[in-house]
Chain A
């Protein structure tokens, strides 16, 4: 029973992350596409990994075109799609980003998971928009730090790098 509850907890967490308005999936896209692909991995009865938080769905590549989900066998890369980066643990919590790619260019980075304690949230508010802008304008995840920003979030950059690698950027 406890196990079922924890699985449910994971599912709810997953759904919250995926439906979080902050994830702002590209316009005209049904977010259910993502959920439909994400669900099976969390409902197969596999025990959750020791470090929790549904890391098994993190390699997920999601099509966000308006094509039906059944087109997974299609080889053609859709014009607009997004890739989830790895969840990277930091001292304070897990960072995970989603990269939105349009015509081979990174156009948006969505923070899926970030440390949520009060101090981290304050730092995140300062640092994440900076890294996001720097990464999009340079089309790279190679920014190791930012001069003028109080803190550096290596975990954010690491998640971003994994997503970009996966997308072949």
Chain B
């Protein structure tokens, strides 16, 4: 993945073994799913050197979930985009979700795992507080749109932050937001949905209503903040 992963654990004491296990699991995911490693199972499947049924069980589960997501997003999420197998849009979030499961399974209650800005939260940072995560502004890499409160759920942001032109036009003339954030219970699905909205543009996301547990936060072509009615989002004054 080539992604920095941050573990912010707030339990006063926790087993280091669990952290080590989570880290080695993430390395395993990288070695198995990376499209940049010619020897990964995904690369071998993509080249036709390995059949899916011979792959690791987790690879089979991931690819099966990608199929379902492809269908449910009207192909806006496509792990075969440009013809080549590339499940990265789901895998990164899925891997972080697996890491969170390892930590929870070891009795760690309060933590946040962030992989390149895709974040899973569990518990609370301290008594009476909730995890607060800023949402990066698609129009300005140095600004946030506002914050979301995370309670045992996740947020993924998909997009590019190159300086200059932050909003790309689609061929049809519609606007593609430079980033899309999705909040919901599972980071893998949130990651995939963010990738899908980013790819298809915000004008054509009727399929998103089939994911009622997932909320969208982005910016429209008219530079208005577009968010789901139920998004746990607080806008900042400077974003308006």
Taking Cβ atoms with an 8 Å cutoff, the residues of A that contact B are 123, 126, 129-131, 133-134, 136-138, 142-152, 154
- Determine the distance from Cα of A126 to Cα of B132 in the docked complex, in whole angstroms: 19
Judging by beta carbons under 8 Å apart, are A148 and B135 in contact? yes
Instruction: Say yes or no: is B114 at the interface (Cβ < 8 Å to chain A).
Output: yes
Instruction: Say yes or no: is B216 at the interface (Cβ < 8 Å to chain A).
Output: no
| Most A CB within 10 A of own CB, among B6, B147, B156 | B147
Residues in B75-99 with C-beta less than 8 Å from chain A:
none
Judging by beta carbons under 8 Å apart, are B118 and A145 in contact? no
Contact with A along B1-44 (1 / 0, CB 8 A): 00110101000000000000000000000000000000000000
A147 interface neighbour in B3, B4, B141, B155, Cβ under 8 Å? B155
Count of chain B residues near A, Cβ 8 A: 36
- Determine the distance from Cα of A147 to Cα of B6 in the docked complex, in whole angstroms: 12
- Determine the distance from Cα of A143 to Cα of B145 in the docked complex, in whole angstroms: 13
With A129-B142, A130-B136, A147-B135 known as contacts, the answer to whether A138 contacts B236 (CB < 8 A) is yes
Instruction: Say yes or no: is B157 at the interface (Cβ < 8 Å to chain A).
Output: yes
Q: Can you name 20 A-B residue pairings with CB atoms under 8 Å?
A: A126-B141, A130-B136, A130-B142, A131-B134, A134-B144, A137-B236, A137-B238, A137-B239, A142-B132, A143-B133, A144-B8, A144-B131, A146-B144, A147-B117, A147-B118, A147-B136, A147-B148, A149-B136, A151-B114, A152-B114
CB-nearest residue of chain B relative to A153?
A: B6
Contacts of B161 in A (CB 8 A): 148
- Determine the distance from Cα of A150 to Cα of B6 in the docked complex, in whole angstroms: 10
Contacts of A130 in B (CB 8 A): 134, 136, 141-144
Judging by beta carbons under 8 Å apart, are A147 and B181 in contact? yes
- Determine the distance from Cα of A163 to Cα of B71 in the docked complex, in whole angstroms: 50
Instruction: Say yes or no: is B159 at the interface (Cβ < 8 Å to chain A).
Output: yes
Contacts of B157 in A (CB 8 A): 147-148
Contacts of B172 in A (CB 8 A): none
Instruction: Say yes or no: is B202 at the interface (Cβ < 8 Å to chain A).
Output: no
CB-nearest residue of chain B relative to A126?
A: B141
Nearest-CB distance from A120 to chain B (Å)?
A: 11
CB-nearest residue of chain B relative to A149?
A: B117
B8 interface neighbour in A133, A150, A152, Cβ under 8 Å? A152
CB-nearest residue of chain B relative to A138?
A: B236
Instruction: Say yes or no: is B56 at the interface (Cβ < 8 Å to chain A).
Output: no
Per CB-CB distance, the 8 closest pairs between chain A and chain B, nearest first, are A148-B136, A148-B157, A137-B236, A129-B142, A146-B134, A147-B157, A134-B134, A134-B144
Instruction: Say yes or no: is B112 at the interface (Cβ < 8 Å to chain A).
Output: yes
Instruction: Say yes or no: is B119 at the interface (Cβ < 8 Å to chain A).
Output: yes
Judging by beta carbons under 8 Å apart, are B141 and A145 in contact? no
A150 interface neighbour in B4, B134, B181, Cβ under 8 Å? B4
Contacts of B133 in A (CB 8 A): 143-147
- Determine the distance from Cα of A125 to Cα of B114 in the docked complex, in whole angstroms: 18
Contacts of A147 in B (CB 8 A): 117-119, 133-136, 148, 155-157, 181
